[in-house]
Structure 1
Amino acid sequence: MKPPAREPLSRARRSAIHLEVRDHYHSEDPDFLAWREGRRKFTLDNQADWWEGWHDTVRAAVSRGAAVRRARVVSEPLTDYVRWEYAYTVTNAAAGEQVRWLPRRQAKDLAVPAVDFWVFDGELVLFHHFSGDGVLMEREYVSDGALATWCTEAFEAVWKRATPHEEYKPV
């Protein structure tokens, strides 16, 4: 499998946008399982327990002037997995990432790719292809200006409607 989003994010100069459209990902994630058991480690008080290379990469991108934004299109009520993502978002924000949430019913008239994706500097698209049970099967990198523009426009349409993480209250 090709390198993860961390590698192209480490080169991004202007922007990195990420759209997530799934309600469930791989359920065997140890952090997710611990959260389901009631162990809550994602607070600013215990940053040493969760800060990792991804957060360093985001912070470095933001420090060099790249805007790092993530939008999540979600079904309500939220699945347990997305509730965990909501709890985990404090880590993204601490690194400098901006995150917004859009209930799926508010996206009904938007043309949005049916897969999660990243767009780096408006040029490189990274699609994440998952199995039905949420296992990442493939990362597909595409350098296609027209496709990057379409994905960016779809992201911006979601972003415009979505609620900032600080204001979003999970249902």
Structure 2
Amino acid sequence: MARRLRFNGTNSGNDGCPAVHEDIGTGEIIVQGPQLIDPADVAQLQHLSDGEVAIVVPRDLLVDWGPKDVTRQAKTIDLDAFAKLFTTFRHTAWRLEARGRYASDELTTTYAQFTRNEPVDWDDVDAQWCANRRTQAALGKRIERVRIVDQPPTIGQLYLLDNARRNSAVGETIMNLWRRDAEELNLPAEDFWIFDSRLVARLNFDEADNLVNVELITEPAEVVRYCMARDAAMHHAIPYEKFAVALTTKEQ
């Protein structure tokens, strides 16, 4: 089976070489760069076995994009502390929603209405949440999401496509992206928020699709990797209104 490689980064602004990739499954690091080929140089290497090659890369590449402390203790926060991030961020909050189902949605009255094919009135639903979003938008802050959609969409994804009307009404920008496109872009298969391009909040779910806690990521190279995923997603994603029209047209 082919490895699933994640592009960590490169210090080259032109041809993208040398570069560092990471094997998501094993955690192994793959370094891409020019091979050391001068026999006099190769002869100085110790323990170079048959089938192995030596790669020459700038020191900065490993400093900037190499593996960090893989033994570090993850910093997790509870959901109350997570909620406070939406009042303390200064400029931007951006989310990737990659799951096919969210258990919390299915406990709502609006979800029951939606699954009964009844019109959903999103006015004043979760008034505190809406008030926060309106307050942040009034301060000039941007809150944006890209939602991944399967083919065919799950019920939960269709519900969120309808729910986007509420998000938009309170100041959020909602975009959609087909999962096949997300996979071609090598977007992370996880849910996360990026706050002010400096803090990543990775959402951890249990097997029943319940959000249980949030892991905070502040390592600069890791944050940049998530920001790169954000930029790729936003470039290819479609505003939810256009996505909904295209989906309806396709179904007809």
TM-score w.r.t. length of structure 1: 0.88
Q: Which residue of 1 aligns with 2:100?
A: 23
**2:119 maps to which residue?**
40
**Separation (CA, whole Å) in 2 of partners of 1:6 and 1:42:** 25
Q: Hey, what's the Cα distance between the residues in 1 that align with 2:167 and 2:79?
A: 23
Equivalent residue letter for 1:29: L
Distance 1:104 1:143 in 2: 27
Shift of 1:4: 5.6
2:211 corresponding residue in structure 1: 136
Question: For the structure 1 residues 72 and 139, does the alpha-carbon distance in structure 2 shift closer, same or farther, using more than 3 Å as the test?
Answer: same
What's the counterpart of residue 7 of structure 1?
Answer: 84
2:119 alignment partner, SS class: coil
Match for residue 158 of structure 2?
Answer: 83
Q: 2-side partners of 1:144 and 1:52: how far apart?
A: 35
CA offset digits 1:19-63 (Å, max 9, x no partner):
0001111164223233213343335xxx13x15222221222221
Q: Distance in 2 between matches of 1:80 and 1:41?
A: 15
- For structure 2, list consecutive stretches of 5 or more residues without a partner in the other structure: 1-77
Amino acid at match of 1:34: Q
Higher relative contact order (CA 8 A, sep 6+): 1
User: Given the superposition, is the C-alpha separation of residues 42 and 147 from structure 1 closer, same or farther in structure 2, using an over 3 Å criterion?
Assistant: farther
Give me the whole-angstrom Cα distance separating, in 2, the residues matched to 1:28 and 1:51. 15
- Report the RMSD for the aligned CA atoms in angstroms: 1.8
Select 1:147's aligned residue among 206, 222, 240: 222
Deviation, structure 1 residue 12: 1.6
**CA 1:166–1:28: 2 relative to 1, 3 Å:** closer
Q: Which runs of 4+ in 1 moved over 4 A?
A: none
Give the distance between the partners of 2:218 and 2:132, measured in 1 at CA. 22
Q: Does 1:159 align with 2:210?
A: no
- 1:4/1:56 Cα in 2 relative to 1: closer, same or farther (>3 Å)? farther
- Report the count of equivalent residues: 167
* CA distance in structure 2 between the partners assigned to 1:29 and 1:147 by the alignment: 34
The 3-state SS of whatever aligns with 2:159 is helix
Correspondence list, 1:36-115, <5 A: 36-43=115-122, 47-48=123-124, 50-115=125-190
Deviation at 1:139, TM superposition (A): 1.5
Contact 1:24 1:133 (8 Å CA) reproduced = no
Letter of the 2:96 counterpart = L
Aligned residues with identical type, % of pairs: 25
